[in-house]
Structure 1
Amino acid sequence: MSVRACGTGQPWPGVAEQIARWCATTPLAPAVVQGSRTWTYRELEGAAGAISATLQAQVPGPGRVVAVTGPRGFATVAAWVAVLATRNVLLPLDPGLAPVQSARMASRAGTDLVLALDGARVPTANGARVLRLDSGQLGAGGRLPQEEPPPPEDPGYVFFTSGSTGQPKAILGRHRSLAHFLTWLRTALHVQPGDRIGHLAGVGFDVSLREVLLPLSAGATLCLPPPAPLPPSQALAWLGDNRVTLLHAVPTVARAWLHATDSSLRLPLLRAVLFSGEPLTDTLVTRWRTHLDYRGEIINQYGPTETTLIRCWHRVEDPTPGIQPLGRPIPGSEAWAEDPPGTRLLPGAPGEIVLRTLYGTSGYLGASEEEDARFTFGPDGEVIYRTGDLGHVDADGVVHFLGRLDDQVKIYGVRFHLHAVEAVLEAQPGVQQTAVTAHHDSEDGAPRLTAHLVLAPGCNGVPGGLRAALLQHLPAAAVPARFVIVDALPRTSGSGKLDRSSLTDPSPSGI
Structure 2
Amino acid sequence: MNVVDLGLERTRYAVIDETIESRWRRVTSMQHDTVAVVTPRDQITFADLEVRADALARELDIRGPHGRCPVAVELDPTAEAVVRILATLISGRPLVMIDPQLPPARREHILSTSGAVSIATILEHAAATPFRFGNALESLSSDPAMIAFTSGTSGAPKGVVLSHSMCLNKADELAAAIDLRPDDHIGNLLPVSFGAGITALIMGLMSGVTVYCWDPRVDGSSTLGSWLRRNSITTAHCAPSFLRAWTQQNAAEPGADPQSSLRVVVTYGEAVHGDDYQRHRDRGFADVTYVNWMATTETGVVAYNVFPPAATFPAGIVPAGRARDGKEVRIVDSEGNQLPDGEIGEIHVISSDLADGYHGDPERTAQRFTPLGDGISLYRTGDRGCIDRDGELQLKGRLDDAVKIRGYLVEPTEVDVAVRAVAGVVDAAVIVRTENDHPELCAYVVSDSQRIALSPAEIRRAVSLSLPGWMVPRHIVMLASIPRNERGKIDRNALPTPAPVATSTSTATPTLETITEFRVAIVWSKIIGIESLDRDDDFFALGADSLAAAEMLAALRAAVLVTVSAAQFAGATTIRELAALVDAMLRNKKRDEGRASVLVPLATSGSRTPLFLITGAGAPALSFLATVQAMSGDRPVYALQAHGMESRGLPDRTVAKMADRYIREIRKVRPHGPYVLGGYSHGGFVTLEIANRLHAEGEIVEHVVILDTRLRENMIGPRPDTTEPPAPSESGEPVLNARARTSKTSVLGIWLRYQVAGIMQFDPSMQWYLFYHRGLASLRKYAPSPYRGSVVVIRGDDNRQDAHDWSAIATGQITFEDVAGSHEDILRAPYAVATGEALERALS
Name whichever of 90-99 and 347-356 sits farther off.
90-99
Cα distance in 1 for residues equivalent to 2:484 and 2:138: 40
Deviation at 1:463, TM superposition (A): 6.7
Query: In the alignment, what sits opposite 1:295?
Result: 287
Give the Cα separation in 2 of the matches to 1:15 and 1:279: 31
User: Number of residues paired by the alignment?
Assistant: 477
Distance 2:199 2:285 in 1: 26
**TM norm structure 1:** 0.86
Match of 1:312 in 2: 303
Mark the runs of 5 or more structure 2 residues left unpaired by the alignment: 1-10, 127-135, 501-540, 544-844
Give the one of 327, 334, 348 matched to 1:340: 334
Q: 1:368 to 1:60 in 2, by over 3 A?
A: closer
Check the 8 A contact 1:160/1:204 in 2, yes or no: no
Are the aligned partners of 1:263 and 1:292 in contact in 2 as well (CA < 8 Å)?
Answer: no
State the partner residue of 1:114.
Answer: 118
Q: Residue 359 of structure 1: CA displacement? A: 1.4
Tell me how far 1:263 sits from its aligned partner. 5.1
The verdict on how the C-alpha distance between 1:61 and 1:188 changes in structure 2, with shifts beyond 3 A counting, is: farther
1:305: how far off? 1.3
- After superposition, where does 1:412-431 map in structure 2 within 5 Å? 412-431=406-425
Equivalent residue in structure 1 for 2:483, among 470, 479, 490: 490
Tell whether the 8 Å contact from 1:364 to 1:372 is kept in structure 2 after alignment: no
**Counterparts of 2:178 and 2:189 in 1: how far apart (Å)?**
19
1:208 matched to 2:197? The reply is: yes
Quickly say closer, same or farther: Cα 1:436–1:115, change in 2 above 3 A. same
Aligned-partner SS, 1:95: coil
Are 1:433 and 1:453, in contact at CA under 8 Å, matched by a contact in 2?
Answer: yes
Which one has a larger percent strand, Structure 1 or Structure 2? 1
Q: Is the 8 A contact 2:190 2:215 kept in 1?
A: no
Deviations 1:400-445 (A, max 9, x none): 2122211112111221211221111111112121112222215xx4
Correspondence for 2:38: 33
Q: Which residue of 2 aligns with 1:120?
A: none
Residue among 451, 462, 472 paired with 1:469: 462
Determine whether 1:14 maps to 2:19.
yes
Match of 1:456 in 2: 448
Letter in 1 for 2:194: F
Change (3 A) 1:146 1:350: same
2:266 aligns with: 274
* Distance across 2 between alignment mates of 1:228 and 1:497: 13
Alignment partner of 1:186 is 2:178: no
Please report the TM-score for the alignment, with normalisation by the length of structure 2.
0.53
Whole-angstrom distance in 1 between the partners of 2:12 and 2:40: 42
Q: Distance in 2 between matches of 1:491 and 1:105?
A: 19
User: What secondary structure does 1:229 align onto?
Assistant: helix
Residue 405 (str. 1) matches residue 394 (str. 2):
no
Per the alignment, residue 130 of structure 1 pairs with 122
Tell me the CA shift for residue 478 of structure 1.
0.8
Q: Could you list the runs of 4 or more consecutive aligned residues of structure 1 that deviate by over 6 angstroms after TM superposition?
A: 145-148
Is 2:350 aligned against 1:356?
Answer: yes
Q: Percent identity?
A: 29
- Residue 52 of structure 2: which of 47, 50, 55 is its match? 47
- Structure 1 distance, partners of 2:208, 2:382, is 37
Q: How far did 1:45 drift?
A: 0.7
Pairs within 5 Å for 1:134-145: none
C-alpha displacement at 1:475, in angstroms? 1.6
Q: Of residues 232, 252, 266 in structure 1, which corresponds to 2:241?
A: 252
Bigger CA radius of gyration = 2
Report which structure shows greater RCO (CA 8 Å, sep ≥6): 1
Q: Could you give the per-residue CA deviations for residues 118-153 of structure 1, whole angstroms, max 9, x where no partner exists?
A: xxxxxxxxxxx632499xxxxxxxxxx9967x343x
CA 1:131–1:378: 2 relative to 1, 3 Å: farther
One-letter identity of the residue aligned with 2:170: F
Letter in 2 for 1:362: D
Any gaps of 5 or more consecutive residues in structure 1? 117-128, 135-144
CA shift in 2, pair 1:489/1:510, >3 Å: farther
Normalized per residue, the structure richer in helix is 2
Q: Distance in 2 between matches of 1:204 and 1:7?
A: 25
**Residues 272 and 386 (structure 1 numbering): CA distance in 2 closer, same or farther, change over 3 Å?**
same
Letter in 2 for 1:365: H
Alpha carbons of structure 1 residues 79 and 441: separation in structure 2 relative to 1, 3 Å: same
From the superposition, tell whether residues 50 and 146 of structure 1 become closer, same or farther in structure 2 (CA, over 3 Å). same
- C-alpha separation in 2, matches of 1:420 and 1:318: 21
- What is the CA–CA distance in structure 2 between the aligned matches of 1:439 and 1:35, rounded to whole Å? 41
Moved more, 368-377 or 157-166: 368-377
RMSD: 2.7
Report if aligned partners of 2:329, 2:350 keep a CA contact under 8 Å in 1: yes
Distance of 2:494 and 2:74 partners within structure 1: 26
Q: How far has the Cα of 1:97 moved from its partner? A: 2.7
Contact 2:191–2:216, Cα closer than 8 Å, also in 1: no
Corresponding residue for residue 157 of structure 1: 146
Question: Which secondary structure does the structure 1 equivalent of 2:208 belong to?
Answer: coil
